Amino acid sequence: MIFDPNTFFIALLPPIIFNSGYIMKRRYFFDNIVPIVAYAVAGTTISSITVGSIMYGMGQADVSLKLSLAEALSFGALISATDTVSVLAIFQELRVDPSLFYLVFGESSLNDAVAIVLFGTFSKFIGNVYESSYLPIAVLDFILIFAGSTLIGILFGVLSALLFKHFDFKGCLYHEMGVYIMFSYLPFLAACICDLSGVVAILFTGITMKHYTSNNLSDEGKKVCGHMFNAISYVAETTVFLNLGLAVFALQVGYHLKFIIWSLIACLVGRAMFVFPLSYLINQRRPAERRVPQNQQVMIWFSGFRGALCFALALDWPNEKRSEIIATTMVVVLATLFIGGGSTVPMLRWLKIKQLTPAEEIEMDQMVQPVARMPILQFDAKYWVPFLTHLHPDTSDFDDATADADEDTSKQMLRPGYGDDDEGEFSTINVNSSS
């Protein structure tokens, strides 16, 4: 039995996306905001167009399934959505550089939202004869949807912060958590009503509510929230992957060998087409100590595993090629997860990615101070934080030790027992427990 696409997009996807924004460690996210946004927005767009162009060209050459240009670009968008939970779990197990961890984590979180908007934009043109006027329409549509959805997400996050700052729940944790959960889902509905992207909206609501609203919660509320959203997200993602596993046996048609092979090749090429060029451009404008080294670039390229979102988007395919798209997506997802997941530790060893000791990790945490370098964060700490929270002026939760400890929930989610004093070695890693 395969779920209806609406089940994924309305019930299962929102908690997964919200949690990815909520658990994001903002100190590293904002310290690496330029490469993260570049990889996620420009990179996903480049990957979608590259994969779409390859699949369109192979179809026209009669060596693969023949797709129209709109179909090829739509497939490129859906197959460019990444799922890095397994590789991030291994990163955390081995205590790799936190900057690499959050480059991959941040790119994957934003990548999902961008891929969904691109898929929605391109799929509107499926069934229409291509005209040159479609390109500027598609670009404008993408910009308006992404910008409008982001605005709605931030707006609801700000409104929730003001409500929790000024409203007294009189110690009733049930009411406090009920309203908090309501605000986490409302932007999804509001964006959908406005024909925008609910996924983009709820992602930025998660980031905004974590940054502002969580500081206005009671002590009990702060303890409950992180674990609650992690639990809901875990159940939703597990349900999606269970359905993916069932689909292997339920789907009897649609397997097109040449299309599958070219899709796997196109995914590798598409990711390489943005990781290395964008990394080069980013490094040109960064001091030597903050550049993305070559071995980390290769690891970022390698980490582009496909996952649940690709499968959910494939289920929403609008025409008669749906069976082929679903079957191919399912094979690509399983291939990248099993082959890529099993190869992550050897790849880290081959690339000589450095492991950090607990002391080095703490020292690096203290060195990362994005507020000191970014005027917009200084403005935020001086004006927005005191306006929207109970924190004092010039106090940012980037510097709040309790907030940082709470943010480590993201790492605990990926590897239970994080914080143990054992340093671990590549030779002693239990790969099965990590992936």
Q: Which CATH number covers residue 185?
A: 1.20.1530
Q: Is residue 407 part of a domain?
A: no
Q: Is residue 222 part of a domain?
A: yes
Interval 183-190 mean pLDDT:
95
Q: With CA atoms as reference, report the closest residue to 72 among 89, 95, 55.
A: 55
Interval 273-299 mean pLDDT:
93
State yes or no: pLDDT of 194 exceeds 50.
yes
- At position 231, the amino acid (one-letter code) is A
Q: Is residue 388 part of a domain?
A: no
State yes or no: pLDDT of 140 exceeds 60.
yes
State yes or no: pLDDT of 205 exceeds 90.
yes
Q: Is residue 134 part of a domain?
A: yes
- At position 281, the amino acid (one-letter code) is L
What percent of the chain has pLDDT above 70?
84
Q: Is residue 76 part of a domain?
A: yes
Angle at 80 between CA 71 and CA 262, to 5 degrees: 65
DSSP string, 357-418: PHHHHHHHHHH--HHHH-HHHHHIIIIIHHHHSSSPTT--TTS-HHHHHHHTHHHHHHSTTT
What is the domain range of residue 267?
A: 5-355
Q: What is residue 85's predicted lDDT score, i.e. its pLDDT?
A: 79
Interval 253-272 mean pLDDT:
93
CA atoms of 81 and 64, how far apart (whole Å): 22
pLDDT band at 367 (very low <50, low <70, confident <90, very high): low
- Sequence-distant (6+) residues with CB within 8 A of 268 are none
Q: What is residue 434's predicted lDDT score, i.e. its pLDDT?
A: 38
Q: Is residue 381 part of a domain?
A: no
State yes or no: pLDDT of 381 exceeds 90.
no
Q: Is residue 261 part of a domain?
A: yes
State yes or no: pLDDT of 67 exceeds 80.
yes
Q: What is residue 403's predicted lDDT score, i.e. its pLDDT?
A: 46
pLDDT band at 210 (very low <50, low <70, confident <90, very high): very high
Work out the angle between the directed axes of helices 85-94 and 341-351 (0-180°, nearest 10).
Answer: 40
Q: Is residue 395 part of a domain?
A: no
Number of domains in the chain: 1
Interval 71-93: pLDDT, tens: 999 999 999 999 887 788 888 88
Across 29-33, 130-134, 238-242, 328-332, least confident range = 130-134
pLDDT band at 70 (very low <50, low <70, confident <90, very high): very high
What is the SS3 assignment for 150?
A: helix
Q: What is the 3-state secondary structure (H, E, C) of 234-247?
A: HHHHHHHHHHHHHH
